[in-house]
Chain A
């Protein structure tokens, strides 16, 4: 397996496009981070409807997640960074706690009656 640390056209010229351009894996991963950030925004939007303040807090976490995903583009490619992923886990657990707290509050919001 070619150990290609370069990005883009300066990579090795192998038959496998993945070998020639490991930036594809980086691209997919960046897209996955974007999807995750959108998911966080969706959760925030869902909470926002009935509880504006916690909803806005969760919504504000979305760009933070997106920025976390941009970090590997600037530093060592493919290097494992547990802190970023741990941040995602902590974010989701916090969101879960917020959701649980909201579940046990009586809502007078625009719920369907």
Chain B
């Protein structure tokens, strides 16, 4: 196994499972791309936990019957969106690495920041509504 990899000439990448073009990149780049994907996956899982905790553990907001769902469900959905999008970005980045192209720009930070900001605003509104009641 190890000998086969040691003898592998540069540029040989035709046997990749997905039949991708280009050549196998430096393994460190592949590892780094994989770690980025894993980091986004953990972010997604943390969002799911946060959303679940909001819905299941918080006491109901007085006067705002669906307040907990308004805050928690978007976080859970965002977790699923980030999980899928991070996989697609991993595929895109891996393709760019193989072809030696610049890495594509990631939309994930923007999506995450935008949704979290919206949930924060919604949380403020829900709190105000329940306090004013």
Q: Name the contact of A5 in the complex, choosing from B8, B16, B42, B52 (C-beta under 8 A).
A: B8
Interface residues of B in 13-51 (CB under 8 A from A): 16-18, 20, 24-32, 34-35, 37-39, 41-42, 44-46, 48-49, 51
- Interface secondary structure of B, over-half rule: helix
Q: Name the contact of A112 in the complex, choosing from B6, B8, B59, B77 (C-beta under 8 A).
A: B59
Residues in B with CB closer than 8 Å to A6 are: 2, 6
B96 within 8 A of A: no
B55 within 8 A of A: yes
Which of B84-92, B112-120, B122-130 participates in binding chain A? B84-92
- Interface secondary structure of A, over-half rule: helix
Q: Are A40 and B45 in contact (CB under 8 A)?
A: yes
Interface centre among A42, A99, A109 (most CB of B within 10 A): A99
Q: Name the contact of B35 in the complex, choosing from A5, A29, A42, A112 (C-beta under 8 A).
A: A29
Question: Across the two chains, which residue of chain A brings its CB closest to B10?
Answer: A3
Question: Across the two chains, which residue of chain A brings its CB closest to B29?
Answer: A78
Q: Are B56 and A109 in contact (CB under 8 A)?
A: yes
Residues in A with CB closer than 8 Å to B131 are: none
Residues in A with CB closer than 8 Å to B105 are: none
Which residues of B are in contact with A by a Cβ distance under 8 Å? Answer: 1-2, 5-6, 8, 10, 16-18, 20, 24-32, 34-35, 37-39, 41-42, 44-46, 48-49, 51-53, 55-59, 69, 72-73, 76-77, 79-80, 83-84, 86-87, 90-91, 94
What are 13 of the A-B contact pairs (CB < 8 Å)?
A: A5-B8, A25-B27, A29-B31, A29-B38, A33-B38, A42-B49, A43-B48, A75-B1, A76-B5, A83-B17, A85-B87, A88-B41, A103-B69
For the complex of A and B, 8 pairs with smallest distance between CB atoms: A78-B27, A92-B83, A96-B80, A25-B31, A5-B5, A89-B87, A25-B28, A103-B55
